[in-house]
Chains A and B, each alone.
Chain A
Amino acid sequence: MLKDITLGQFFPGNSAVHRMDPRVKLMLMVVYIALVFLVKGFLGYAILAAFIAGTAFLSRIKPKFLLRSVKPVLFIVVMTFVLNIFFYRGEELLFQWWIIRVYKEGIRFAVFMALRLVFLLVGTSLLTLTTSPMALTDALERLLKPLNAIRFPVHEMAMMMTIALRFIPTLLEETDKIIKAQTARGADFDTGNLLQRAKAMVPLLVPLFVSAFRRADELAMAMEARCYHGGTNRTRMKQLHVTGIDYAGIAVVAVTTGLVLLERLL
């Protein structure tokens, strides 16, 4: 059933990584992404691998789930790898057949590019696996608060994200229901050419939009009834606190950064 689909890929838990302040996690993620691009050689990737493995171990997320994030983009990873092997022009020719020339540098470069992608994916999914979408939205809202000065509607954006997250399961369930109801009236969503299929979507999309607008209308009224009037003078129940775990996390990332920079210089 659609109901069982979890939002994003958050994996609830109570590990040290889960308990970290989402703002700190988000900022450390930015540092990590920079590191992935700074790494020069295999030693650097070994350092990052150690960092990821350590964090994953602490978060008690099974490696299976972590690697699953690579699956949807595996095709892109493989393509990057293959293209780089075939088109990189280096000096030491390893293999030649017809117009294909494989250089030693090419292999090295291709491996690096593929690793870079994998490290980016695994790192970011470690963040989303241990941080609820709600906490991430919250962290974004607080971190971007200074942008209010240039009239960027930070609170409104965050509220929109929250409402979207709240209604995704509801609308998925509704989609399921409408598909079934129209199928019972003989609608066919699965066969025909592209144009026919696009046309077949009308009986699904119109009711879905009508219902989404009705929901939006009712929600707006319900929010007003509960005194919602934008972000001004609003307080939050959950306060975010930077604690010992966060300082430990910052320290670990700092050490990793130091090691990566050292590797780059050597």
Chain B
Amino acid sequence: MPVEARELTHTYNADSPFESTALDKVNFKIQDGEFIGIIGHTGSGKSTLIQHLNGLLKPTGGTVIVNGMDLADKSTNMKEVRRTIGLVFQYPEYQLFEETVEKDIAFGPKNLGLDEKKIAARVRDAMRLVDLDYAQFANKSPFELSGGQKRRVAIAGVLAMEPDILILDEPTAGLDPYGRDYILSLVENWHKLGRTILMVSHSMDDVARFADRIFVMNHGRLEMQGTPDEVFDQEERLRAMGLDVPAVTTLAGELSRRGFDLPRHIHTMDEMERALLSLLGGKEHA
């Protein structure tokens, strides 16, 4: 299910004193099975962008094409679009409302008009995908769970719609280190199972680790798009946009200046470890 944005533009409050362009002629193409990391500081247009991809916001210029469906076209079936593209908002646990975990996860599939049997199967599948035991959690109130569990229930609610493309807006925000790693490993797993993933993140380390390609948003424009190597090699440009690079990238730059002969493109901990071991001659495994 390829996703394509063509000259995508969104202006809030057009022709009023509050007019502001949140998206400015954005163009991109996403292929099946890609993992896209979206970075940019607050207010750079990331949220506006992802809300266009499943039709929550309508473009004021240009369009988005999802699997051949033109989202700027009024006659497009939005339900089908929202089934194809699942969107997990920031702090998704704040949207939980049902009496039980099972009912809450069933909300999406029910809205798709599936029959009882299919819904039940979807709920079980989704719970498995977020690593929540059905017997233990299905009949619990979502409000009794811990923060991390609530978030997994909320994400399961989106997964139960079986989207081909999953968009996550900062899925690890507000979690402790353990919770962050847990969610990220789940996301990695969904990607391996064949879903296309778009993940908005403030953590350059996470993006460097998981993304095939990175979109850098700045002032409503898609300022850069490329592999982590291509993007993080431009440290100066990122810094000018108020963004960081992974800590190891900074270290690599510093070491090169001090005469270390390091390979190019070091952006993850694993890459740095390998490079230093070969340079300093450590044992391959201790």
Q: Do chains A and B directly touch (beta carbons under 8 Å) in the complex? A: yes
Residues in A lying within 8 Å of B, measured CB to CB: 1, 4, 174, 177-178, 180-188, 202-203, 206-207, 210-211
Determine whether the beta carbon of A203 is less than 8 Å from that of B97: yes
Determine whether the beta carbon of B161 is less than 8 Å from that of A207: no
- Contact sample, A vs B, 30 pairs, CB 8 Å cutoff: A1-B18, A177-B89, A178-B94, A180-B89, A181-B89, A181-B92, A181-B94, A183-B82, A184-B54, A184-B56, A184-B82, A184-B86, A184-B87, A184-B89, A185-B107, A185-B108, A185-B111, A185-B158, A186-B111, A186-B112, A186-B161, A187-B107, A188-B111, A203-B107, A206-B97, A207-B94, A207-B95, A210-B96, A210-B97, A211-B94
Contacts of A211 in B (CB 8 A): 94
Measured CB to CB, the nearest residue on chain A to B90 is A177
CB contacts under 8 Å to A, within B81-125, are: 82-83, 86-87, 89, 92, 94-97, 107-108, 110-112
Contacts of A181 in B (CB 8 A): 87, 89, 92, 94-95
Determine whether the beta carbon of A210 is less than 8 Å from that of B143: yes
Contacts of B110 in A (CB 8 A): 186
Q: Is B79 an interface residue (CB 8 A)?
A: yes
| Count of chain B residues with a beta carbon within 8 Å of a chain A beta carbon | 26
CB < 8 Å A-B pair total: 63
11 further A-B pairs in the complex, CB-CB below 8 A; given A174-B94, A177-B89, A184-B87: A177-B94, A181-B89, A181-B94, A184-B86, A185-B82, A185-B107, A185-B161, A186-B107, A186-B110, A202-B97, A207-B94
Give the interface SS of chain A, mostly helix, strand, loop or mixed.
Answer: helix
Measured CB to CB, the nearest residue on chain A to B51 is A180
**How many whole Å from A200's CB to the nearest CB in chain B?**
10
Residues in B lying within 8 Å of A, measured CB to CB: 12-13, 18, 51, 54, 56, 79, 82-83, 86-87, 89, 92, 94-97, 107-108, 110-112, 143, 157-158, 161
Q: A181-B92, A184-B87, A185-B161 are in contact. Are A4 and B13 (CB under 8 A)?
A: yes
Determine whether the beta carbon of A185 is less than 8 Å from that of B157: yes
Q: How far is the CA of A178 from the CA of B54 in the complex (A)?
A: 15
Determine whether the beta carbon of A207 is less than 8 Å from that of B96: yes
Contacts of A177 in B (CB 8 A): 89, 94
Closest 6 pairs (CB-CB, A-B): A186-B111, A206-B97, A185-B108, A181-B95, A184-B87, A181-B89
**How many whole Å from B225's CB to the nearest CB in chain A?**
24
Q: A185-B108, A207-B94 are in contact. Are A1 and B13 (CB under 8 A)?
A: yes
Q: How far is the CA of A185 from the CA of B167 in the complex (A)?
A: 13
Contacts of A202 in B (CB 8 A): 97
Q: How far is the CA of A187 from the CA of B54 in the complex (A)?
A: 13
Contacts of A186 in B (CB 8 A): 79, 82-83, 107-108, 110-112, 161
Q: How far is the CA of A202 from the CA of B86 in the complex (A)?
A: 21
